[in-house]
Structure 1
Amino acid sequence: MVINFDFPFNAVAIITGLLAWSSIIYLAYLIYKKQTVRPKVWKTLIVIFVGLFSFSINWNLFDTMLKFPILPLGVWILYFVLQGKDERWQTYRAFAWLGFWVNFIFLASTLIAIPVHHVIYPKNEPLTYISNVDNASILTIHPSAKSRSINKESLQKQLDTLRQEEIYSDQWYEDMNMTESNKRNERFPYQLIGTSSKWGSGLDTIIYIEDDGKGILLSTPQKQLYFRSEESFVEGVE
């Protein structure tokens, strides 16, 4: 069986997530060992899960949504449910609070993952988004474009020399609409397919090629980036 590793996944998030879960399991084990009366494991898992519920404040940092837990709603619920029932609250209290603190463990893992991900996968470098061009090809997505093919060698050679430029969306839109509709040309009439982002980056990118074959517009769910080359990497375009 051949395993294809070209699909996008976030390696940094997976590693930090595994570390976070390992810490949670270890802490739960320590608490369980210290208990005089040891409850059933499945019950402790339910208590930890309920303890996770909290009132949180959301904050966007580098295109990542972070949740800062403020109020331990799950702990309060468990307290009112278990108090006065054969000291059950005393038995499960530590597990309930562990559930609440799990939120902070995941928050810490995310805060660690963000800078590590940015160092390993720089968001402003085209090689992060276009790492492998072995199976690259272009699709014509506008009637104004002629049928062309990609020069893989030229594209691969120029990836690390592309210069980032500003995106003038309004100006580009005005320029396109100044001409008659039957003579209107699309600025990015080609789509580059068959490429893959840097392994483990987890980046999902749509790549458009400019009509002169020298420009690349990278479109992610969060933003767009525009790069220019010195030479055309589209066959038949000078």
Structure 2
Amino acid sequence: MEINFNLPDNVITIVTSCFVWGVIAYLAYRIYQKQTDKPKVWKIAVILLIGLISFSIDLHLFDVLVKLAILPLGVWALYIMFKWTNKNWQAYRRFAWLGFLANFIFLASTFLAMPIDDVVYPKEEPATYMARIEDASLVPIHPSAIADGTLNIDRLDKELHTMKSEAVYSDKWYQDTYMNHVDTNERDERFPYQLVGASAAWGSGLHPVIFIENDGRGLLITTAENQLYFRFAESIIEGVE
């Protein structure tokens, strides 16, 4: 298990994580009820957290990077500590193993959350990445951009519902932009504008970087996982037709 303090901002992940912790708490309660030697609750919580510690390997499953727990390092450390101090290991043993088992419960919740997340936040829909555009604006990021070009928000809102997804030709675009021109200022950058101020759907946890094509009729949406390219009929940049 990798321990970090980066709190999730995806509401599906938060809900499933809370559910998993509820399941773990319930299982710990069942173990507690069955034992004659009942440890203090705060000690159980500490044992569970230490039991979570494991040697894990990274796996790419269904386009998601997950950690698969292999060795129960936390359980082993607790066992050695209890034997070294002559403490009652049997009273805590099942809680420690429950902590290690929690790694697999969290792993299962990850796969459970994936289809739910795809339904609530469809990744192929541009509106998922631009749910709020009232504060959106253009930022020129290349000399080939029109300096006084402004974003037509009403037209963008209209085109959001008619955009068509197309393939991303990253290699071809790179060659057209960088291999055929020597002077940086003479290059005709394909995406010379960046769209800022737009917000992804609330609770999606998405933080896309959005670029606008030089003719104002295309969007390149870049996330940590992939890239999406959309084309539409009318230019969303004032002064570019």
Moved more, 206-215 or 89-98: 89-98
**Aligned pairs, how many?**
231
In the other structure, the counterpart of 1:183 is: 186
Residue of 223, 228, 231 corresponding to 2:226 = 223
- Stretch of structure 1 that moved more, 175-184 or 159-168: 175-184
Superposition deviation, residue 150 in structure 1? 0.9
Partner residue in 1 for 2:4: none
Of residues 192-201 and 53-62 in structure 1, the stretch that sits farther from structure 2 once superposed is 53-62
Match of residue 201 from structure 1: 204
Amino acid at match of 1:154: R
- Corresponding residue number in structure 2 for 1:161: 162
Q: TM-score, normalised by structure 2?
A: 0.88
Deviation at 1:11, TM superposition (A): 0.7
Specify whether residues 136 and 62 from structure 1 end up closer, same or farther in structure 2 by C-alpha distance, changes over 3 A only: farther
Q: AA paired with 2:10?
A: N
Which residue number corresponds to residue 42 of structure 2? 42
CA–CA distance in 2 between the matches of 1:140 and 1:219?
A: 17
Distance 2:210 2:20 in 1: 34
* C-alpha displacement of 1:173: 2.1
RMSD: 1.9
Partner of 1:236: 239
- Please state if 1:214 is matched with 2:217: yes
In structure 1, the partner of 2:103 is: 103
- SS state of the match for residue 89, structure 2? helix
SS at match of 1:170: helix
Q: What is the identity, as a one-letter code, of the residue corresponding to 2:120?
A: I
Q: 1:74-119: per-residue Cα shift (whole Å, max 9, x none)?
A: 2233233324866711111111111111111111111111111112
Aligned residue in 2 for 1:174:
175
Q: TM-score, normalised by structure 1?
A: 0.89
- Give the Cα–Cα distance (whole angstroms) in 2 for the partners of residues 132 and 113 of structure 1: 24
The match for 1:3 is none
| Structure 2 residue 116 is matched with structure 1 residue 116 | yes
Gap regions ≥5 residues in structure 1: 1-7
Alignment correspondent of 1:58: 58
Cα displacement string for residues 172-230 of structure 1 (whole angstroms, at most 9, x for unaligned residues): 22222424524322111111111111111110101000110001010112221111001
The whole-number CA distance in structure 2 between the counterparts of 1:85 and 1:189 is 66
- Tell me what 1:127 maps to: 127
* Secondary structure at the counterpart of residue 104 of structure 2: helix
User: Does residue 153 of structure 2 align to residue 152 of structure 1?
Assistant: yes
Identity of aligned residues (%): 52
For residues 44-85 of structure 1, the C-alpha deviation after alignment (integer angstroms, 9 at most, x for no partner) is 222212211223332123443212223323223323332486
Structure 2 gaps of 5+ residues are 1-7
Cα distance in 1, alignment partners of residues 85 and 173 from structure 2: 70
Moved more, 218-227 or 65-74: 65-74
Give the letter for the 2:167 counterpart.
Answer: E
Relative to structure 2, which stretch is displaced further, 147-156 or 61-70?
61-70
For the pair 1:18 / 2:18, whether they are aligned, the reply is: yes
CA distance in 2: counterparts of 1:168 and 1:93, whole angstroms: 56
The aligned counterpart of 1:4 is: none
**Residue 16 of structure 1: SS of its match in structure 2?**
helix
CA distance in 2, matches of 1:53, 1:180: 53
Range that drifts further, 79-88 or 227-236: 79-88
Distance 1:211-1:79 versus aligned 2 partners, 3 A rule: same
